[in-house]
Amino acid sequence: MAPSLEEPIQPVDDALDSHLKKAPALVAPEPEHCPGPESQSAGKGDACAGCPNQQICASAPKGPDPDIPVITQRLAGVKHKILVLSGKGGVGKSTFTTMLAHAFASNADNMVGIMDTDICGPSIPKMMGVEAETIHVTNTGWEPVWVSDNLGVMSVQFMLPNRDDAVIWRGPKKNGLIKQFLKDVEWGDMDYLVVDTPPGTSDEHLSVTSFLKESGIDGAVLVTTPQEVSLLDVRKEIDFCHKAGIPILGLVENMSGFVCPSCTHQSEIFRATTGGGRQLAKDTNVPFLGAVPLDPRIGMSCDFGESFFDNFGDSPACKALKEVVRRTGEEMGLDANHVLPDHEDDESMDRPWH
Amino acid sequence: MSLKDIKHITLVLSGKGGVGKSSVTSQLALTLSLQGHSVGVLDIDLTGPSIPRFFGIESEKVKQAPGGWIPVPVHEARKASGEDAQGIEGKELGSLRCMSLGFLLANRGDAVVWRGPKKTAMVRQFLSDVHWGPMDYLLIDTPPGTSDEHISLVETLLKQATPEQLAGAVIVTTPQAISISDVRKEINFCRKTNVSVLGVVENMAGFVCPNCSECTNVFSKGGGEVMAKEFDVPFMGSVPIDPMFIRLIEEGRKPVYPQGTVVEGKDLAGEINEGAVQDDGLLVDKYTACSLCPIFDGMVKKLVSKIEG
């Protein structure tokens, strides 16, 4: 096969729509350059010649996916859906997701859910301290794992027989599981559903976006670190959001600056040579939600599955995080004081999570 | 077949994102080149390619030749010229070239929104249609996870490369438990696919405050070594966070260190006295002034002796 230098970009609309169509049952893996078994040109494209699936794809009805209304029905009770995205890995998507969820849940009236769509590297269960749990199946669906009375979590980690098992799955299988997370999980009446994503702009992102299109996404929070290597990938993610029609709630800069615990000298470990997240937000016309300094205790809290908010409530990183959460609430059109009360009322800070 | 003349193929893997796969890949490549080997770097992170940025060749485009792509050169091979007084200038170098999807994009901010089969096709194409020519080492930088890119990569390599060519995988992790738990999955992936693990590199282990020289374990410590022991795979070493390396990559500044900085028995201070900051020259020459260079030098020597037997 001769290599091509043609524009290697697939129109996002096509990629998104193909998830909304019913997929026929295939007899062989999808070939290279497969137009997608759900697409209009399925079975008719150049790549389809000689494919064992050709007949199936060409004759399958191309109606809308019957599961979409089921998902919409299932999520009818969920008021706000927030995606946490970043093109880059290891910038703190999962950490920020747990912080956001803990913050929302600190108001006892809120019901909060976290859905972890990182199938190959799920971090949420460990960060929430529920790594060893399994999913209970009831007659109404799968029950999320409850971290506290008003905070539920769903992740692939709960389904693994062994903690260290690798999930070696190609795209379609990952999409299938994400669909089940939305369709079969008994989310119930929730105020907030926070969706954590893997790095990149691929299968998981497309499926979450297209499955949730009908029930509506409030928006995406993008997480970045200050250095250009990271901003480069986040720029791509912003482009993805624009193309896929996901509103962007704002950009958070994580790991910005590090204060030496012994001499309180501030160093920029990940130097913002190109202006960091603030400049990127300005350039791309996205709200800047704030900068959170690097604090080794955040990582430690995550390792032990404890809430950083509870343990180190008065640290500068915690204050910055709270401000970011409040700003996120504002961007969603909510009252910041309702999302996260400014005054640290003892009642909410002493609540046992575990 | 483009892999035919490559002596050793090494994968750089990690289950977790942002632990420094690309950073470790680029430093392994620079160090191998400094030791006189010819090196190629293939970046199969399709939705977030970082290798072009690391080598400072973001604006380059791939050239097309009949039947394949020509990789983008970072620097050419250089013969040793012993009489050079500065020592660094005349050092022997192996050639260093890269291939990445970043070179194919019209606009650096463009998102590559691809589903699995398309990624698979691209990975196969990268492995079969790039004209590397005769080369000592091919390092393959991967995206996080254990999904389409990884399955296709290993599948194609097992088919197209001989077992002697496929040296194995270097696993990169950071010390904290969250990262380790994902990396364990990656080691299990290697076991399942019969890719041997050459060793574990613990990256971002500690940060030395430039003001008071106090070392803080920003992302905890020691996790990589414990995991390596547990899985019975070699531990290659810990790499600290060096803001000067990040500066070198981001701004192209030659690293300078305060007096008294000694790494692996080599005194790195002194450059500061010369006053003038040397910002031009090859990345690889500037890298020799970096505190991470001696660390990687030792690691790569061990790696090479292991691979070449």
Phi then psi dihedrals of residue B27, to 5 deg: -75, -35
Task: With CB atoms and an 8 Å threshold, state whether B181 touches A260.
Answer: no
- ipTM of model over 0.85: yes
pLDDT at A113 over 80: yes
Structure tokens at B55: 């080598």
- Of residues A221, A50, A310, A229, the one with CA closest to residue B45: A229
Chain A interface includes B113 (CB < 8 A): yes
C-alpha span between A252 and B256 (Å, rounded) = 31
Please give the mean pLDDT across all residues of chain A.
86
Chain A interface includes B307 (CB < 8 A): no
Contacts of B109 in chain A (CB under 8 A): 235-236, 238-239
What residue numbers of A does the annotated binding site for [4Fe-4S] cluster cover?
A: 34, 48, 51, 57, 260, 263
Tell me the domains of chain A and their CATH numbers. 10-24+45-62 (no CATH), 77-349 (3.40.50.300)
Q: Average of pLDDT values for B118-127? A: 92
Domain definitions of chain B by residue range: 6-308
C-alpha span between A72 and A213 (Å, rounded) = 9
Highest mean pLDDT range out of A12-16, A219-223, B1-5, B305-309? Answer: A219-223
Confidence of residue B85 (pLDDT cuts 50, 70, 90): very low
Strand, coil or helix: A223: strand
Residues 6+ apart with CB under 8 A from A242: none
Confidence of residue A92 (pLDDT cuts 50, 70, 90): very high
Q: Average of pLDDT values for A45-52? A: 79
Task: With CB atoms and an 8 Å threshold, state whether B113 touches A202.
Answer: yes
C-alpha span between A91 and A233 (Å, rounded) = 11
Chain B interface includes A167 (CB < 8 A): yes
Lowest mean pLDDT among A178-187, A260-269, B77-86: B77-86
Q: Average of pLDDT values for B179-184? A: 92
C-alpha span between A89 and B17 (Å, rounded) = 4
pLDDT at A245 over 50: yes
CATH class of B6-308: alpha beta
Confidence of residue B148 (pLDDT cuts 50, 70, 90): very high
Q: Which of the two residues, B289 and A27, has the higher pLDDT score?
A: B289
Q: What is the pLDDT of residues A192-240, one digit of tens each?
A: 999 999 999 999 999 999 999 889 999 999 999 999 999 999 999 999 9
What residue numbers of B does the annotated binding site for ATP cover?
A: 15-22
Identity of the residue in B110, B118, B181 whose CB atom sits nearest the CB atom of A126: B181
Identity of the residue in B121, B174, B177 whose CB atom sits nearest the CB atom of A33: B121
Q: What is the pLDDT of residues A338-352, one digit of tens each?
A: 888 765 544 444 444
CA dihedral A283, A284, A289, A293 (to 10 degrees): -60
Residue of B nearest to A162 (CA): B185
Phi then psi dihedrals of residue B93, to 5 deg: -130, 145
What pLDDT, on a 0 to 100 scale, did the predictor assign at position B228? 95
| Chain B interface, best mutation among A10, A120, A294, A300, by max B CB count within 10 A | A120
Query: Looking up tokens 């193929």, which residue turns up?
Result: B9
| Chain B interface, best mutation among A4, A46, A156, A168, by max B CB count within 10 A | A168
C-alpha span between A67 and A185 (Å, rounded) = 13
Identity of the residue in A34, A119, A270 whose CB atom sits nearest the CB atom of B246: A270
- Of residues A74, A93, A72, the one with CA closest to residue A83: A93
Lowest mean pLDDT among A17-31, A58-72, A228-242, B24-38: A17-31
Q: Average of pLDDT values for A259-279? A: 86
**Count of A-B CB contacts under 8 Å:** 266
Q: Average of pLDDT values for A87-112? A: 93
Contacts of A32 in chain B (CB under 8 A): 117, 120-121, 124
What pLDDT, on a 0 to 100 scale, did the predictor assign at position B260? 66
What pLDDT, on a 0 to 100 scale, did the predictor assign at position B40? 96
Residues 6+ apart with CB under 8 A from B277: B253, B254, B256
Structure tokens at A288: 């800047």
Lowest mean pLDDT among A43-52, A227-236, B254-263, B270-279: B270-279
What pLDDT, on a 0 to 100 scale, did the predictor assign at position B251? 86
Q: What is the pLDDT of residues A150-203, one digit of tens each?
A: 999 999 999 999 989 999 999 889 999 999 999 999 999 999 999 999 999 999
Measure CA of the first residue to CA of the last residue in chain B; give whole Å: 26
Answer whether B43's CB lies under 8 Å from B11's CB. no
Identity of the residue in B17, B110, B193 whose CB atom sits nearest the CB atom of A236: B110
Q: Average of pLDDT values for B258-266? A: 66
Percent of chain B, pLDDT > 90?
67
Answer whether B62's CB lies under 8 Å from B69's CB. yes
Query: Looking up tokens 């790569």, which residue turns up?
Result: B300
What pLDDT, on a 0 to 100 scale, did the predictor assign at position B287? 93
DSSP code of residue B262: E
3-state secondary structure string across B169-216? EEEEECCCHHHHHHHHHHHHHHHHHCCCEEEEEECCCCEECCCCCCEE
Chain B interface includes A253 (CB < 8 A): no
What residue numbers of A does the annotated binding site cover?
A: 34, 48, 51, 57, 87-94, 260, 263
Task: With CB atoms and an 8 Å threshold, state whether A30 touches B19.
Answer: no
Answer whether A76's CB lies under 8 Å from A182's CB. no
Task: With CB atoms and an 8 Å threshold, state whether B129 touches A1.
Answer: yes
Chain B interface includes A173 (CB < 8 A): no
Per-window interface: B 267-306 vs A, CB < 8 A: none
Lowest mean pLDDT among A9-18, A205-214, A281-290, B129-138: A9-18
In this structure, the strands spanning B135-141 and B6-13 are: parallel
pLDDT at B83 over 70: no
| Chain A interface, best mutation among B45, B178, B183, by max A CB count within 10 A | B178
Confidence of residue B58 (pLDDT cuts 50, 70, 90): very high
pTM reported for the whole predicted model: 0.89
Task: With CB atoms and an 8 Å threshold, state whether B17 touches A167.
Answer: no
Chain B interface includes A143 (CB < 8 A): no
pLDDT at B254 over 50: yes
What pLDDT, on a 0 to 100 scale, did the predictor assign at position A351? 44
Percent of chain B, pLDDT > 70?
90
Q: Average of pLDDT values for B289-297? A: 93
